[in-house]
């Protein structure tokens, strides 16, 4: 099986999720599913179809998409099973850090001035 996500790869999501996460949830099949959901959410949230326009986007925009998508998908990987993580607090801290970074990226991507910059780059 190959990565089917557009914005981020399985390896990038695994790195964000960190050590001790479920081997099932960090597997390619699960991450591909998470990425489909995350990419659809980002497109809907921003009201711009980054997936369809991905090939025309500049490298900076792709980097922000990669960050936001891999952060959101890593949250799914972590929350699937906390049993391998040292403590619940550690798992929650990881999720909070990833959520904050994802929200930061989403706010940049949703901004109309940023979208104009993307479309005119």
Distance CA 31, CA 104 (A): 22
- pLDDT tens for the chain, residues 1 to 121: 688 899 999 999 999 999 999 999 999 999 999 999 999 999 999 999 999 999 988 898 999 999 999 999 999 999 999 999 999 999 999 999 999 999 999 999 998 887 777 767 6
pTM of the model: 0.92
39 Cβ contact partners less than 8 Å away, ≥ 6 residues apart: 5, 6, 7, 50, 51, 69
36 Cβ contact partners less than 8 Å away, ≥ 6 residues apart: 4, 5
52 CB burial (10 A radius; 0-12, 13-18, 19+): exposed
């Amino acid at each position: 099986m190959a990565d089917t996500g557009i914005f981020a790869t399985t390896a990038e999501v695994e790195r964000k999720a960190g050590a001790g996460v479920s081997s099932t949830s960090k597997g390619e099949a699960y991450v591909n599913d998470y990425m489909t959901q995350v990419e659809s959410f980002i497109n809907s949230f921003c009201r711009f179809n980054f997936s369809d326009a991905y090939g025309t986007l500049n490298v900076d925009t792709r980097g922000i998409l990669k960050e936001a998508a891999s952060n959101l998908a890593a949250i799914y990987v972590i929350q699937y099973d906390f049993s391998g993580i040292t403590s619940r607090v550690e798992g929650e801290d990881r999720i909070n850090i990833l959520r904050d970074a994802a929200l930061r990226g989403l706010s940049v991507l949703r901004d109309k001035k940023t979208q104009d910059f993307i479309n005119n780059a």
